[in-house]
Every structure is written in C-alpha cells, then in structure tokens.
Structure 1
Amino acid sequence: MGKQLDYAAPMTAAEYAKGICVATTLKSIDLAVELFAEAGNKQLKETSIYNALMSVYIFNGLAMKCQSLLQDLKGESTCSPTIVTYNILILGLGHLMLIDHMETALGEIMDLNLSPYVVKYNI
C-alpha cells in the first residue's frame, strides 16, 4: 500500500472560487459565504472569489447583497471589479427589473473605462 500523506495541500483562490460555485448548485448560501470567509482569512481574496459569491447571491435573487459585496470589492487594495463582475451584477439586476440600478452599473463601467460586451448590452 502507498504511504498516506499527513497533510493536505492548501486550497488555491481558484479552488475556493470553484467551491463557492458548487455551493450555488447545492443552493447553500451559507457554505458559499463560509468558503468566501475562509479564503479571506487565508489572504486569498481575488476578484474571482468575489465574482463567485456575487453569482451565488444573484442566483438566489439577492441583488442587494450582490451590490454590497461589489462595494466591498471596490474597497480592496489587492483586487478590483472587472467587466465580468459587472456582468454578474447587471444580469441579476435585470432579472429583478431594477433598471435604475442597471443604469448605475453601466455608468460605472463607462467611468472605469472597462470594455463592455457591446452585444450583451445592445449599446
């Protein structure tokens, strides 16, 4: 028999993001939030991890929590929102018909000089 290792390799930021996305399919917001917090405690917060938790919130109709998380991301010194981040937000806001919030998000995209997906937004 092979020798068992007494340790496990630490999870990467990408693995945390994937785990958070899996929590979405399990409809477990608590697990997603727990994984997000664990990644933060290990100094692994990256935009992809924020995007993953934002997706969980959007998938579960929690657009305001998604917007709150975006504000937290904007305050991070090590990472920042990308066009993917805003796409997630706008998707959720659109499903909830929060047009004024969508327009605000589109304005932020323009202010940040992010390249929007022209076809997606029909600009």
Structure 2
Amino acid sequence: MNFEEMAVIDEHSVCEGPARKESGKRGRKPGRKSAEKVDMKAKLERSRQSARECRARKKLRYQYLEELVADREKAVFALRKELEQVKYIFKFIVIIIYTTYIINKFLYFHYISVHLILLYFEN
C-alpha cells in the first residue's frame, strides 16, 4: 500500500465518522422517564438478586470452612491422644530397660560376690 492509497483511506474514515445526533445536547432526553424507570427497576432487582446469591454463596463457604475446621480439630485431638499413648508406652519401655539393667548389674555383682566368697572359703 502506498502513500496515496493511505491518504484516500484516511480521508474516507474522517468523512464517514460515527453518526451523530443533530441535537448536540448531552444528558437526559425528555420523554424517556418511564422507560428509564423500568430499566432502573430491573437493574435494582438484578442487583438485589445478585446480592442474595452472593450471601448464599458466602453462607455455603462459611459452612464448608466450619466443617473443615471441625474435621481438623478432630484430627488434632486424635493425634494428641495417640501421642499420649506413645509417651506412656515409651515410659514403660524405659522402665523395663532400666529395671533389666539394674537386675543384670545386681546379678553380675551377685555372681562375682558368690565367686569371691567361694574362693575365700576354698583357701
């Protein structure tokens, strides 16, 4: 496309601009109040309906979150209970190990002392 064609297209676009009303006034037009009222009532009703739907969605979202929190609290309670059981078992195992250790030491010392006594009386 050369410069002359672009100039012709540009002139046509300026001449064929959007159709404008001849009144030249801006703002509300007289005689359209009843149609605007109907439009405004419909717009208000749509707005109210949208607000109702938004509140319903919000209510469902809060119910979902409350259920989620309740489930998490149950899981936390179950885990704490399991932790207490594991602690109890661990303490029991530690007591058994310690007792076994003491008994083994006692038996070892008893074994040595019996042997010492036997050696003493053999001489």
TM-score of the alignment, normalized to the shorter chain, above 0.5: no
- TM-score grouping bracket, smaller chain normalisation: under 0.3
Structure with the larger RCO, 1 or 2 (CA within 8 Å, 6+ apart): 1
TM-score by length of 1: 0.19
TM-score by length of 2: 0.19
Task: Report the structure number with the largest CA radius of gyration.
Answer: 2
Q: Identify, as 1 or 2, the structure richer in helix.
A: 2
